[in-house]
Amino acid sequence: MKVHSLRYEQDIRIVEAYRKLALNLEYANVDGNIKTVMVTSSMKDEGKTTTISNIACVMSELNKKILLIDLDLRKPSIHKHFGLTNGYGLTDLLLNKSDYKNYIHNIQPGLDVLTSGRVPSNSTEVINSRAIKDLIKELAVSYDYVFFDTPPVALVSDPVNIAVYSDAVILTIAYSEVDKEIIKKSIDILKQVNANIIGTVFNKVPVNKRDKHYYYY
Ligand SMILES: Nc1ncnc2c1ncn2[C@@H]1O[C@H](COP(=O)(O)OP(=O)(O)O)[C@@H](O)[C@H]1O
Ligand SMILES: [Mg+2]
């Protein structure tokens, strides 16, 4: 099992944790109702980008066709995670309306990535646009899952708006870094738009506590 760009690959338990997350997503989807899956967290640096990238890798290695889209238009970083340039991407595709295949990076069999593209000043409008919703619907036809990286829910409204067109939400929590009240508030905000929170991932857990706390689903 190779998990692309996994920085903690010396720890086999981490790979195992992502594999279990991927399998749990499959179990959550036994009825086949989940196609679009977003990750968010309360604050920044809670491991959103790392988590969604690694789940995407593991899923593609389970022979699923995955498209990972960087919808963190505030601080895009999927391209950095995979060592790509962000010279073109989602926002350019939305403007140019040409063949999406010209904008997609194939990382490994079954794993395609659409970086953010140029970051617009009106990212809220882009996230809420009819055009982005139509585009995602069109792209989804060619994949088993479409994953979204997003900004922090306690800081900006984009993730709540993205939750409206996501079938499932994964929440990452930086263990002992973020206040419980802020986490509770983030969950409440997501629930107000009927977000389907299917999993919570604890990141940055001290090694001695990992067996018990690394991930919950
Ligand atoms: N499980 C983890 N354990 C320790 N460090 C982690 C873990 N997940 C992510 N990190 C590190 O934390 C930092 C922030 O991670 P990132 O995925 O970019 O967070 P976010 O997308 O929520 O801002 C990065 O330096 C990343 O390498
Ligand atoms: Mg990020």
Domain boundaries of the chain, sorted by first residue: 12-216
Pocket test for ligand 1, best of 40, 50, 216 (most atoms within 8 A of CB): 50
| pTM of the predicted model as reported, rounded to 2 decimal places | 0.92
Spatial CA neighbour of 136 closest among 125, 124, 148, 154: 148
Ligand nearest the Cα of residue 203 is 1
Spatial CA neighbour of 66 closest among 51, 81, 56: 56
Rounded distance, CA 29 to CA 147, Å? 14
The pLDDT profile of the chain, 217 residues, written as one tens digit per residue, is 345 555 544 467 778 888 889 999 999 999 999 999 999 999 999 999 999 999 999 999 999 999 999 999 999 999 999 999 999 999 999 999 889 999 999 999 999 999 999 999 999 999 999 999 999 999 999 999 999 999 999 999 999 999 999 999 999 999 888 999 999 999 999 999 999 999 999 888 776 665 544 444 4
Residue 46 CA: nearest ligand 1 atom is: 22
Residue nearest to atom 13 of ligand 1 (CA): 45
Tell me if 46 CB under 6 Å of ligand 1.
yes
Rounded distance, CA 165 to CA 36, Å? 8
CATH fold of the domain at 12-216: Rossmann fold (3.40.50)
Give how far Cα 24 sits from Cα of 77, 153, 167, 216, Å. Answer: 25, 23, 15, 10
Burial 99-136 (b: 16+ CB within 10 A, else e): ebeebbbebeebbbbbbbbeeeeebeebbbeeebeebb
The answer to whether residues 24 and 168 touch, using CB atoms and an 8 Å cutoff, is: no
Tell me if 11 CB under 6 Å of ligand 1.
no
Q: Which amino acid is at 164?
A: V
Q: Which amino acid is at 48?
A: K
- Position 212 scores a pLDDT of 43
Q: How far is the CA of 203 from the centre of ligand 1 (A)?
A: 7
- Position 206 scores a pLDDT of 75
